[in-house]
A and B are shown apart, each in its own frame.
Chain A
Amino acid sequence: MKGHLLSTEDLSRDDALVVLDTAERMARVAEASVRKLPTLRGRTVVNLFFEDSTRTRTSFEVAAKRLSADVINFSARGSSVSKGESLKDTAQTLEAMGADAVVCRHPASGAPHRLATWVRGSVVNAGDGTHEHPTQALLDAFTMRRRLGRVDGLAVTIVGDVLHSRVARSNVWLLTTLGASVTVVAPPTLLPLGVSSWPVEVSYDLDAVLPKSDVVMMLRVQRERMSAAFFPTEREYSRRYGLDVDRAATLPEHALVMHPGPMVRGMEIASAVADSARSTVVEQVANGVSVRMAVLYLLLGGSGEVS
């Protein structure tokens, strides 16, 4: 892999497969009695989170610790972070502390790209604005591969607020790179105008797409989108694009239901569906640690074989 993981758009098929294969080996570490590898001993991983995300931060923290790295949680959330100076100041601080890797979550699209020009260490994009969330896509692909044996040739349907979703973008690039055919489903207001240039099918009709889907990935829909007139009411959204029990029943038997979390139960997904056997929601969390271990391992060139 190159020095940073900023997006899946520029991730080659070979690099993506190396991450997934490495993650498979990391997953075995998690299943072992001693769940720790010495490979990143003496290396420093900084979790730089400008946005609250306990789930993602914890996942990276666990991943780094399982590789024996020193972890610093640098929560930069607060009133001053909306100003750009603090991003550069923070970058200089991290430089001075000798961070080997910076895991960056930021509300502004492209912030990790800027950071990467200011620090020597590797930057891992842990979600930037409405741009990308590459490790989420990698863990989603990993989850599909573990459950269904492959990604190549799968029909994956991504449903919801594609316009504002970094998870959707990262998945579109990664899954198509890995050979899946992707359909995005949303009300037209929640699709970017340029979606026609994406390597995906576009549909406004969830019911038509579900029976042909091997995987359906539900995206969180924030209630505040309603006030900006993206859709009329929560109920109408839920009725047209929510995955309720009846809709889920039209999926093929083997089909998976995925959600990057946090879910809005009753909005985009019914509780019964989220907790059903075809749901991978909890598995995705576990797989997230394996994938993030793989990414840190590969970027930091950890020493020693992973058995």
Chain B
Amino acid sequence: MTTNGSGQSWVLRQVRPLGGDAVDVLLADGVVAAWRPPGSTSPDSEGLPLGTTVLDTAGLIMLPGLVDLHTHLREPGREDAETVESGTRAAALGGYTTVFAMANTNPVADTAGVVEQVWRLGLDAGHCDVRPVGAVTVGLAGERLAELGAMATSAAEVRVFSDDGHCVSDALLMRRALEYVKAFDGVIAQHAEEPRLTAGAQMNEGVMAARLGLPGWPAVAEEAIIARDALLAGHVGSRLHVCHVSTAGSVELIRWAKAKGWQVTAEVTPHHLLLTDDLISSFDPVYKVNPPLRTAADVAALRAGLADGTIDCVATDHAPHALEDKETEWAAARPGMLGLQTALSVVMETMLIPGHLDWAGVADRMALAPARIGGLPRPAAEGWSSIAVGAPATVTLLDPSPWRVVEADTLASRSRNTPYAGRSLPGAIRATFLRGRPTVLDGKVV
């Protein structure tokens, strides 16, 4: 489906794979061609292909290219907020080599035609692989199944289906969807939100909502759907993926479902790992997101769940919004936050630096696990699982040492709705390679 790497070869001199000991890594013919003793390689070293470029990558961490199961690229329909081009630039700059593009575009990605369009736009942009997510129901309306099989067999090879933004709240429809996609090893990614419990909801229901007079979005609205869907997945033996888990109770339920042996996976967003609902006292809609920011206790439970593998992966829920959809009073603003260019930094701050995960753990939660859940086609899937010799040269290199202050205006997204503006975050992506071809070098899009 994609071109192989360019003919150019690269040596990553004294790079540290998964944060381990330094080594010189040769990327050639689109794969990791060799590991050589650290510092031993220079442009005229023997055994290098002609035209090899040697990069001084001393001190940089090498990870498999990151995979985001949950990205809103907004194209087609809201090209003023984001395009496939701008969103995938942001992805590459954030260390991502694959993004799964959510279906809530306009028109909705509920037909083979739309998913193929998005897939092709991704191919043309070339910054990372774009894997379209197909809608579960026609128009995200929750009434009848979209042509899931047609999307699966299209050129876009859709494996992940989601009505994200809306919950597939009808229990029977959810059951059928879970069952139906077994035929092509698909997975239903559920936006868990019982709509009757969240009508008009504006923020997490609790102490802050009571103070601020904003209608509450109760944790139980998420948890009730997760419990139901886990039972359904267990009953029909299907794969369920839970989008953007946000509550301590949800973590418990997923732990329970996994203990039953059911095929339930889950993701957490960077913002739910870091931010809490007391930020909303400013009424600044940059903090408005769905599911909403929760409490410190929820944040702690989510970090613990991600650390012990109850939550399988981090997904950004990158949700660009035009200025006029955010520069409003709280209730009128659209929910959503940018995430692609800050995700790894937030995971460093919330998981790596406190010692909940090491670099191998970060690689698992941000690259390997989401690739597995998303059913990335072989041989790419094998490549994701390893950065060893022979694997596709799809890697990201970051400098873990600097802290940088996030500036909304310098992000590649067309939108500016980052909740981290003005906040200092650790780490900086220096380079991203997609099957041997650099998409980012020296922190800039190639």
Interface residues of A (CB under 8 A from B): 9, 82-85, 87-88, 106-111, 113-114, 128-132, 166, 169, 192-195, 197-198
Q: Is the CB of A197 within 8 A of B207?
A: yes
Least CB distance, A106 to chain B, in whole angstroms: 7
Using known A-B contacts A87-B328, A113-B283, determine if residue A169 contacts B213 with beta carbons closer than 8 Å: yes
Q: List residues of chain A with CB within 8 A of the CB of B324.
A: 84-85
Contacts of B212 in A (CB 8 A): 109-110, 131
Q: Which of A9, A111, A195 contacts B329 (CB 8 A)?
A: A111
Least distance between A4 CB and chain B CB atoms (Å): 13
Q: Does B408 contact A (CB under 8 A)?
A: no
Task: Give chain B's interface residue range (CB within 8 Å of chain A).
Answer: 20 to 34
Q: Does B12 contact A (CB under 8 A)?
A: no
Task: From B206, B216, B328, give the contact of A83 (CB < 8 A).
Answer: B328
Looking at the assembled complex, report how far the CB atom of A214 sits from the nearest CB atom of chain B, in whole angstroms.
25
Q: Is the CB of A114 within 8 A of B207?
A: no
Which chain A residue shows the least CB distance to B331?
A108
Residues A194 and B213 in contact in the complex (CB < 8 Å), given A110-B329, A114-B329: no
> By the criterion CB–CB under 8 Å, are B213 and A131 in contact?
yes
Measured CA separation A114–B214 after assembly (Å): 15
Least CB distance, A168 to chain B, in whole angstroms: 9
Interface string of B280-322 (1 = CB under 8 A from A): 0011100000000000000000000000000000000000000
In the complex, residue of chain A having the shortest beta-carbon distance to the beta carbon of B202: A109
Docked Cα-Cα span, A12 to B265, in Å, equals: 49
- What's the Cα separation between A129 and B215 when bound, in Å? 10
Minimum distance in angstroms from B297 CB to a CB of chain A:
14
Tell me how far the C-beta of A161 lies from the nearest C-beta in chain B, rounded to whole angstroms. 12
Q: Which of chain A's residues have a CB closer than 8 A to the CB of B332?
A: 82-84, 87, 108
CB-CB nearest in chain A for B332: A84
**For window 19-65 of chain B, which residues contact chain A by CB distance below 8 Å?**
none
Evaluate contact between A113 and B211: CB separation under 8 angstroms.
no
Contact yes or no, A192 B327, CB < 8 A: no
Determine whether the beta carbon of A114 is less than 8 Å from that of B213.
no
Contact of A193 among B213, B218, B327 (CB under 8 A): B218
Do B216 and A192 have beta carbons less than 8 Å apart? Answer: yes
Residues 197-244 (chain B) with a chain A CB within 8 angstroms = 202, 205-216, 218
- Minimum CB–CB distance from B222 to chain A (whole Å) comes to 15
Contact B283 A114, beta carbon cutoff 8 Å: yes
Decide: A109 and B210 in contact? CB cutoff 8 A. no
Q: Are B206 and A84 in contact (CB under 8 A)?
A: no
Q: Could you tell me if B209 and A194 are in contact, using CB atoms closer than 8 angstroms?
A: yes
* New A-B contacts (11) at CB < 8 Å, excluding given A110-B214, A194-B211: A83-B332, A84-B324, A85-B327, A107-B331, A111-B283, A114-B329, A130-B214, A131-B214, A166-B213, A194-B205, A197-B211
- Give the interface of B toward A (CB within 8 A): 202, 205-216, 218, 282-284, 324-325, 327-333
A165 vs chain B, min Cβ distance (A): 8
Closest 5 CB pairs of A and B: A84-B328, A110-B283, A194-B210, A131-B213, A192-B210
**Bound-complex Cα distance A84 to B25 (A):** 53
Q: How far is the CA of A82 from the CA of B330 in the complex (A)?
A: 11
Q: Is the CB of A88 within 8 A of B213?
A: no
Chain A residue with Cβ nearest B203 = A109
B202 contacts across to A, CB distance below 8 A: 109
22 residue pairs A–B, Cβ–Cβ below 8 Å: A9-B211, A83-B328, A83-B332, A84-B324, A84-B325, A84-B333, A85-B327, A85-B328, A87-B329, A88-B327, A108-B330, A108-B332, A109-B212, A110-B214, A110-B283, A114-B330, A128-B213, A130-B214, A131-B214, A194-B205, A194-B207, A198-B210
Bound-state CA distance A23–B331 (Å) is 34
Inter-chain CA distance A264–B247, complex, in Å, is: 40
A166 to B210, CA, bound (A): 11
Q: How far is the CA of A65 from the CA of B206 in the complex (A)?
A: 42
Taking CB as reference atom, which chain B residue is nearest A170? B213
Bound Cα distance from A87 to B326, whole angstroms? 12
Most buried by A among B213, B214, B282, B331: B213
**B327: which A residues are within 8 A, CB to CB?**
84-85, 88
Complex contacts, A110 vs chain B, CB 8 Å: 212, 214, 283, 329-330
A142 to chain B, nearest CB (A): 23
A82 to B333 alpha-carbon distance, docked (Å):
10
Instruction: With a 10 A CB-CB cut-off, give which of A106, A107, A110, A129 has the most chain B CB atoms.
Output: A110
Q: How far is the CA of A108 from the CA of B212 in the complex (A)?
A: 11
Instruction: State how many angstroms separate the Cβ of A48 from the closest Cβ of chain B.
Output: 12
Chain B residues near A128 (CB-CB < 8 A): 213
**Could you say which of B207, B210, B215 has the most chain A C-beta atoms within 10 Å of its C-beta?**
B210
The complex places the Cα of A194 from the Cα of B325 at a distance, in Å, of: 29
Closest to A169 in B: B213
In the assembled complex, the CB of A196 is this many whole angstroms from the nearest CB of chain B, namely 8
Q: How far is the CA of A114 from the CA of B327 in the complex (A)?
A: 9
Q: Residues of A contacting B211 with CB < 8 Å?
A: 9, 169, 194, 197
- Contact call A194/B330, Cβ cutoff below 8 A: no
Between B202, B218, B331, B333, the greatest number of chain A beta carbons within 10 A of the residue's beta carbon is seen for B331
